[in-house]
């Protein structure tokens, strides 16, 4: 679809009023095996899928919440959460943008994420997740032509069961951790991407997640498989409107890169962080892992985290293939009373594997953040190399930043470098900018964006612009 066409589609007059609420088909709060059967049935899933979910659920029941993360939050009542919510008419839900509830599009606009702008930019295909059901998928034809599969995970389970069965849980097993187990049991939507052998995906793939109905947990499951010599760049963005109750988000993202494949996964995460006392934000417990299964494969995570009340997230790479490459570029910004415990794990298994970690943490207000990184080099990972750089910038003196670099080196031919700095935003830098007429707020933004430059330049262009804007919004009123 031409970008112009897209513009017209989304900018045309709304026929429905602005006040109409989207009706939800929501199950009552609570979780047991029948809830899971309900979800599986709703999704029209095959029997093996239900079994898989139940297996996960049974494992989850035996597990406990990880307590080691540098976070402080009240216990979550999993029985108070509703595990399924979908726009009422599941059968005739919109298949393209022009069928999308204008109210959804309008919400995107309000949140400053004009879908049409994004979609228009360089022909981005959009698979928006609204509550638990994917409501719109565009550019499918063009992708189909290239042989790329890009659809909701539910659709993939129905249409491409062999692929899903082969790869689902192959990177993040059901019982991997508490939140991954919960996700495996109750996931309701998410995206599936398969790029066939030798294909370079003709456009950047993009999914926007958002959470709408109150008290609805969001459990996406994303699976991206890049076959031999295939390439894809995937963008994920998240927003949520203001809420009074904390909301749980426990997504799982699995990436599989076969021989010479290249996956770039970028996230700009902008969930509601709660008010300045930390009330009402999103709890974000995500398991993201990439598996460089093939030789010379490469997986690159780039993330800009500005939202959530609580973030617990460690995008990781399993570097199995010989000479495979893992990268992690991260900017995490916390303000108010936000808490973030993020980082990455680079697991070097194959020979000649390389990884790079660049983490930039910015803490303002009374926020607290921790970087937790693990670099593990296995006995077979001859000549593995890692470079880690971890910088923290503090704004004001009531915030905190902590760095926990862990290294487990099981091979003495490995080269592992770690650099870390913590600095307060320089009074002298601020004065210099202000003495040139730049307001304190703009000066902070400028300095912070400069601090993050190494990461921003890894983001696709339009995402980088948005990331800067987000950072500025997040740090509003951080100084003075």
Partner 1 sequence: MLEVKDLHVTVEGSEILKGLNLTVNPGEVHALMGPNGAGKSTLSAVIAGKDGYEVTSGEVLFEGKNLLEMEIEERALAGILLGFQYPVEIPGVKNIYLLKAALNAQRVARGEEEIPAPEFMKLVREQLSFMKMDGSFLQRAVNEGFSGGEKKRNEILQMLVLQPKLAMLDEIDSGLDIDAMKVVAEGINSLRNADRAILMVTHYQRLLEHIVPDRVHVLVDGRIVKSGDKNLAHELEARGYEWVLEESAA
Nearer to partner 1, 272 or 451 (CB): 451
Instruction: Scan for tokens 């998240």, then name that residue.
Output: 238
Sign, Cα dihedral of 73, 75, 77, 78: positive
Phi/psi class of residue 196: alpha, beta or left (left: φ > 0; alpha: ψ in -120 to 50)? beta
Decide if 161 contacts 151 (C-beta within 8 A).
no
Q: How far is the CB of 284 from partner 1 (least distance, A)?
A: 27
Q: Which stretch binds partner 1 (CB under 8 A): 170-178, 235-243, 307-315, 428-436?
A: 428-436
Q: What secondary structure does DSSP assign to 208-265, as a single string?
A: EEE--STTB-B-BEEEEEE-TT-EEEEEEEEE----SS-EEE--EEEEEE-TT-EEEE
Among 36, 433, 459, 471, binds partner 1 (CB under 8 A): 433
Instruction: Decide if residue 449 touches partner 1 (CB under 8 A).
Output: yes
Nearer to partner 1, 413 or 439 (CB): 439
Nearer to partner 1, 301 or 456 (CB): 456
Distance separating alpha carbons of residues 85 and 132, to the nearest angstrom: 6
Q: Look up residue 382 and give its DSSP letter.
A: T
Among 89, 110, 398, 453, binds partner 1 (CB under 8 A): 453
Q: Which stretch binds partner 1 (CB under 8 A): 125-133, 154-162, 194-202, 434-442?
A: 434-442
Among 356, 454, 462, 469, binds partner 1 (CB under 8 A): 454
Q: How far is the CB of 425 from partner 1 (least distance, A)?
A: 11
Distance separating alpha carbons of residues 335 and 466, to the nearest angstrom: 18
Nearer to partner 1, 74 or 480 (CB): 480
Q: From residue 448, give the alpha-carbon distance in Å to each of 203, 344, 431, 454, 472.
A: 31, 22, 15, 12, 9
Nearer to partner 1, 234 or 451 (CB): 451
Instruction: Decide if residue 435 touches partner 1 (CB under 8 A).
Output: yes
Among 70, 374, 429, 462, binds partner 1 (CB under 8 A): 429
Nearer to partner 1, 14 or 431 (CB): 431
Instruction: Decide if residue 437 touches partner 1 (CB under 8 A).
Output: yes
Among 44, 112, 198, 450, binds partner 1 (CB under 8 A): 450
Which pair of tokens denotes residue 192? 């599936």
Q: Which stretch binds partner 1 (CB under 8 A): 287-295, 299-307, 405-413, 442-450?
A: 442-450
Q: Which stretch binds partner 1 (CB under 8 A): 35-43, 67-75, 409-417, 438-446?
A: 438-446
Among 419, 431, 461, 476, binds partner 1 (CB under 8 A): 431
Among 139, 194, 451, 463, binds partner 1 (CB under 8 A): 451
Which pair of tokens denotes residue 315? 């995008």
φ, ψ of residue 182 in degrees (nearest 5): -60, -45
In our burial notation (b when 16+ CB lie closer than 10 A, e otherwise), range 28-47 reads ebebeeebbeebbebbebee
Nearer to partner 1, 13 or 428 (CB): 428
Q: From residue 319, give the alpha-carbon distance in Å to each of 234, 257, 289, 390.
A: 20, 10, 11, 21
With contacts defined by CB under 8 A, how many residues of the chain interact with partner 1? 23
Give the orientation angle of helix 178-186 with respect to helix 47-61, to 10 degrees.
150
Question: What residues are paired with 264 via a beta bridge?
Answer: 233, 300
Instruction: Decide if residue 434 touches partner 1 (CB under 8 A).
Output: yes
Distance separating alpha carbons of residues 122 and 62, to the nearest angstrom: 47
Q: How far is CA 336 from the centre of its chain?
A: 22
Distance separating alpha carbons of residues 307 and 332, to the nearest angstrom: 9
**443 in helix, strand or coil?**
helix
Question: Within 10 A of 291 (CB to CB), how many other CB atoms are there?
Answer: 26
Give the x-and-dash track for 307-346 against partner 1 (CB under 8 A).
----------------------------------------
Instruction: Decide if residue 439 touches partner 1 (CB under 8 A).
Output: yes
Instruction: Decide if residue 452 touches partner 1 (CB under 8 A).
Output: yes
Instruction: Decide if residue 446 touches partner 1 (CB under 8 A).
Output: yes
Distance separating alpha carbons of residues 3 and 462, to the nearest angstrom: 15
Q: Which stretch binds partner 1 (CB under 8 A): 259-267, 351-359, 425-433, 466-474?
A: 425-433
Instruction: Decide if residue 469 touches partner 1 (CB under 8 A).
Output: no
Nearer to partner 1, 125 or 433 (CB): 433
Instruction: Decide if residue 421 touches partner 1 (CB under 8 A).
Output: no
Q: How far is the CB of 304 from partner 1 (least distance, A)?
A: 15
Under the rule (CB under 8 A), what is the footprint of partner 1? 426-429, 431-440, 442, 446-447, 449-454
């Amino acid at each position: 679809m031409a970008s112009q066409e897209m513009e017209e589609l989304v900018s045309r007059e709304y026929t429905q009023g602005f006040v109409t609420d989207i009706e939800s088909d929501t199950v009552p709060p609570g979780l047991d095996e029948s809830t899971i059967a309900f979800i599986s049935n709703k999704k029209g899933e095959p029997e093996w899928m239900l079994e898989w979910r139940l297996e996960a659920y049974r494992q989850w029941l035996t597990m406990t919440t990880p307590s080691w993360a540098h976070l402080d939050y009240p216990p979550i009542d999993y029985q108070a959460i509703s595990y399924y919510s979908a726009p009422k008419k599941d059968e005739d839900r919109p298949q393209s943008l022009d069928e999308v509830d204008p109210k959804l599009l309008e919400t995107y606009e309000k949140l400053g994420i004009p879908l049409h702008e994004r979609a228009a930019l360089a022909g981005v295909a959009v698979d928006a997740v609204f509550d638990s059901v994917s409501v719109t998928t565009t550019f499918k034809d063009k992708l189909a032509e290239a042989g790329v599969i890009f659809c909701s995970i539910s659709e993939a389970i129905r249409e491409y069961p062999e692929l899903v069965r082969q790869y689902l849980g192959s990177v993040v097993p059901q019982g991997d951790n508490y939140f991954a187990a919960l996700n495996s049991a109750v996931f309701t939507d998410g995206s599936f991407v398969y790029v066939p052998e030798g294909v370079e995906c003709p456009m950047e793939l993009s999914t926007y997640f958002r959470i709408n109905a109150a008290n609805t947990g969001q459990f996406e499951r994303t699976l991206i498989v890049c076959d031999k010599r295939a390439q894809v760049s995937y963008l994920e963005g998240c927003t949520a409107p203001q809420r009074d109750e904390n909301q749980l988000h426990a997504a799982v993202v699995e990436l599989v890169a076969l021989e010479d494949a290249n996956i770039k996964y970028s996230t700009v995460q902008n969930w509601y962080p709660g008010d300045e006392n930390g009330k009402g934000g999103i709890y974000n417990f995500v398991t993201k892992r990439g598996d460089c299964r093939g030789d010379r494969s490469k997986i690159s995570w780039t993330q800009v985290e500005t939202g959530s009340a609580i973030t617990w997230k460690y995008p990781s790479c399993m570097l199995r293939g010989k000479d495979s490459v893992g990268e992690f570029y991260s900017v995490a910004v916390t303000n108010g009373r936000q808490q973030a415990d993020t980082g990455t794990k680079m697991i070097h298994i194959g020979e000649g594997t390389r990884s790079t970690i660049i983490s930039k943490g910015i803490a303002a207000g009374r926020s607290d953040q921790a970087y937790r990184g693990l670099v593990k080099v296995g006995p077979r990972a001859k000549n593995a190399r890692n470079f880690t750089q971890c910088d923290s910038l503090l704004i004001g003196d009531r915030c905190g930043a902590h760095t926990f670099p862990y290294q487990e080196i099981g091979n003495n031919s490995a080269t592992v470098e770690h650099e870390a700095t913590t600095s307060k935003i320089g009074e002298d830098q601020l004065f210099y900018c202000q003495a040139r007429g730049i307001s304190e707020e703009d000066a902070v933004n400028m300095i912070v964006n400069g601090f993050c430059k190494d990461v921003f330049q890894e983001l696709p262009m339009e995402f980088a612009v948005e990331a800067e804007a987000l950072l500025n919004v997040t740090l509003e009123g951080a100084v003075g």
